[in-house]
Structure 1
Amino acid sequence: MRSATGFIFALYGIFLLLLVSSVAAENVNGEALEPSSLTLWQRIVSSVKDYPWQSDQKEKETPEVAHRRSIVWQRLTMATVL
Protein backbone atom coordinates (compact mmCIF):
# COMPACT_ATOMS: atom_id res chain seq x y z
CA MET A 1 0.00 0.00 0.00
CA ARG A 2 2.79 2.38 0.89
CA SER A 3 4.69 1.67 -2.31
CA ALA A 4 1.55 2.31 -4.38
CA THR A 5 1.05 5.63 -2.60
CA GLY A 6 4.66 6.60 -3.26
CA PHE A 7 4.30 5.65 -6.92
CA ILE A 8 1.15 7.76 -7.30
CA PHE A 9 2.87 10.66 -5.52
CA ALA A 10 5.81 10.37 -7.96
CA LEU A 11 3.46 10.38 -10.95
CA TYR A 12 1.67 13.48 -9.68
CA GLY A 13 5.05 15.13 -9.10
CA ILE A 14 6.19 14.41 -12.64
CA PHE A 15 2.90 15.67 -14.05
CA LEU A 16 3.21 18.87 -12.00
CA LEU A 17 6.80 19.36 -13.18
CA LEU A 18 5.77 19.00 -16.82
CA LEU A 19 2.84 21.34 -16.31
CA VAL A 20 4.96 24.01 -14.65
CA SER A 21 7.71 23.75 -17.26
CA SER A 22 5.26 24.23 -20.12
CA VAL A 23 3.54 27.33 -18.69
CA ALA A 24 4.74 30.58 -20.26
CA ALA A 25 6.68 32.73 -17.80
CA GLU A 26 6.16 36.43 -17.22
CA ASN A 27 8.90 38.82 -16.23
CA VAL A 28 8.70 41.47 -13.49
CA ASN A 29 7.10 44.14 -15.75
CA GLY A 30 4.22 41.82 -16.62
CA GLU A 31 5.34 41.29 -20.20
CA ALA A 32 5.16 37.78 -21.53
CA LEU A 33 8.58 36.33 -22.24
CA GLU A 34 9.38 34.49 -25.44
CA PRO A 35 8.45 30.87 -24.89
CA SER A 36 11.22 28.35 -25.32
CA SER A 37 11.43 27.02 -28.85
CA LEU A 38 11.57 23.49 -27.47
CA THR A 39 9.37 22.02 -24.78
CA LEU A 40 10.81 19.72 -22.14
CA TRP A 41 9.57 16.64 -23.98
CA GLN A 42 11.11 17.82 -27.26
CA ARG A 43 14.45 18.36 -25.49
CA ILE A 44 14.33 14.85 -24.07
CA VAL A 45 13.43 13.33 -27.44
CA SER A 46 16.19 15.21 -29.25
CA SER A 47 18.77 14.10 -26.69
CA VAL A 48 17.96 10.38 -27.01
CA LYS A 49 17.03 10.32 -30.69
CA ASP A 50 20.49 9.36 -31.93
CA TYR A 51 21.23 6.85 -29.16
CA PRO A 52 21.99 3.38 -30.58
CA TRP A 53 19.19 1.47 -28.86
CA GLN A 54 19.85 -1.70 -30.81
CA SER A 55 23.15 -3.04 -31.98
CA ASP A 56 24.26 -5.88 -34.22
CA GLN A 57 27.36 -6.46 -32.11
CA LYS A 58 27.16 -9.07 -29.40
CA GLU A 59 28.12 -8.06 -25.90
CA LYS A 60 31.25 -9.76 -24.73
CA GLU A 61 30.89 -10.97 -21.19
CA THR A 62 34.02 -11.19 -19.10
CA PRO A 63 34.45 -14.04 -16.63
CA GLU A 64 34.29 -11.56 -13.73
CA VAL A 65 30.92 -10.23 -14.87
CA ALA A 66 29.57 -13.77 -15.36
CA HIS A 67 30.73 -14.72 -11.87
CA ARG A 68 29.16 -11.63 -10.28
CA ARG A 69 25.91 -12.29 -12.12
CA SER A 70 25.79 -15.90 -10.92
CA ILE A 71 26.41 -14.77 -7.33
CA VAL A 72 23.61 -12.21 -7.54
CA TRP A 73 21.21 -14.85 -8.87
CA GLN A 74 22.24 -17.26 -6.11
CA ARG A 75 21.57 -14.61 -3.49
CA LEU A 76 18.21 -13.70 -5.03
CA THR A 77 17.05 -17.30 -5.14
CA MET A 78 18.19 -17.92 -1.57
CA ALA A 79 16.40 -14.75 -0.45
CA THR A 80 13.17 -16.00 -2.00
CA VAL A 81 13.61 -19.45 -0.44
CA LEU A 82 14.30 -18.08 3.03
Structure 2
Amino acid sequence: MTDRQSVVNKVQQYLTEDFSNIQLGNDGVLSLRHQSARLFVRVNEPRKDGSITINLTAPVLYGVTDGPALHEYVAFQRGVS
Protein backbone atom coordinates (compact mmCIF):
# COMPACT_ATOMS: atom_id res chain seq x y z
CA MET A 1 0.00 0.00 0.00
CA THR A 2 1.29 3.45 -0.92
CA ASP A 3 1.25 6.18 1.70
CA ARG A 4 -0.19 9.62 1.02
CA GLN A 5 3.13 11.49 1.32
CA SER A 6 4.71 9.29 -1.37
CA VAL A 7 1.87 10.22 -3.72
CA VAL A 8 2.17 13.93 -2.84
CA ASN A 9 5.90 13.75 -3.63
CA LYS A 10 5.27 12.00 -6.96
CA VAL A 11 2.54 14.45 -8.00
CA GLN A 12 4.79 17.37 -7.05
CA GLN A 13 7.61 15.84 -9.11
CA TYR A 14 5.35 15.46 -12.16
CA LEU A 15 4.03 19.01 -11.85
CA THR A 16 7.46 20.58 -11.45
CA GLU A 17 8.62 18.88 -14.64
CA ASP A 18 6.17 21.07 -16.60
CA PHE A 19 5.57 24.10 -14.36
CA SER A 20 8.00 26.29 -12.45
CA ASN A 21 5.54 27.84 -10.03
CA ILE A 22 4.32 24.90 -7.92
CA GLN A 23 3.57 25.77 -4.30
CA LEU A 24 3.02 23.38 -1.41
CA GLY A 25 0.74 24.79 1.28
CA ASN A 26 0.95 24.05 4.99
CA ASP A 27 -2.10 21.81 4.56
CA GLY A 28 -0.27 19.68 1.99
CA VAL A 29 -2.24 21.03 -0.96
CA LEU A 30 -0.24 21.72 -4.10
CA SER A 31 -1.16 24.71 -6.24
CA LEU A 32 -0.04 26.37 -9.41
CA ARG A 33 -1.01 29.62 -11.07
CA HIS A 34 -1.39 30.34 -14.77
CA GLN A 35 -2.34 33.92 -15.59
CA SER A 36 -5.40 34.68 -13.43
CA ALA A 37 -6.28 31.04 -12.72
CA ARG A 38 -5.09 28.86 -9.85
CA LEU A 39 -5.31 25.08 -9.71
CA PHE A 40 -5.32 23.27 -6.36
CA VAL A 41 -4.24 19.62 -6.20
CA ARG A 42 -5.20 17.72 -3.05
CA VAL A 43 -3.98 14.18 -2.42
CA ASN A 44 -6.45 12.53 -0.08
CA GLU A 45 -5.79 10.05 2.70
CA PRO A 46 -5.96 6.40 1.62
CA ARG A 47 -9.42 4.87 1.51
CA LYS A 48 -10.32 1.66 3.32
CA ASP A 49 -9.32 -0.34 0.25
CA GLY A 50 -5.90 1.39 0.15
CA SER A 51 -6.58 3.48 -2.95
CA ILE A 52 -5.69 7.16 -2.94
CA THR A 53 -7.72 9.78 -4.78
CA ILE A 54 -6.58 13.17 -6.02
CA ASN A 55 -8.90 16.16 -6.21
CA LEU A 56 -8.32 18.99 -8.68
CA THR A 57 -10.05 22.29 -7.91
CA ALA A 58 -9.99 25.46 -10.00
CA PRO A 59 -12.19 28.23 -8.59
CA VAL A 60 -13.60 30.32 -11.41
CA LEU A 61 -16.07 32.74 -9.82
CA TYR A 62 -16.07 34.67 -6.55
CA GLY A 63 -18.78 36.81 -5.00
CA VAL A 64 -21.53 35.92 -7.43
CA THR A 65 -25.10 34.91 -6.70
CA ASP A 66 -26.13 31.53 -8.05
CA GLY A 67 -29.24 31.55 -10.17
CA PRO A 68 -30.70 31.26 -13.67
CA ALA A 69 -29.00 34.43 -14.94
CA LEU A 70 -25.56 33.13 -13.94
CA HIS A 71 -26.23 29.71 -15.48
CA GLU A 72 -27.32 31.30 -18.75
CA TYR A 73 -24.29 33.57 -18.85
CA VAL A 74 -21.84 30.75 -18.19
CA ALA A 75 -23.55 28.39 -20.65
CA PHE A 76 -24.20 30.73 -23.55
CA GLN A 77 -22.34 34.01 -23.29
CA ARG A 78 -18.90 32.46 -22.91
CA GLY A 79 -19.04 30.35 -26.06
CA VAL A 80 -19.98 27.11 -24.33
CA SER A 81 -23.14 25.35 -25.39
Same fold (TM over 0.5): no
Query: TM-score, normalised to structure 2's length?
Result: 0.28
Bigger helix fraction? 1
Structure number with greater CO (CA < 8 Å, separation at least 6) is: 2
Bigger strand fraction? 2
Query: TM-score, normalised to structure 1's length?
Result: 0.28
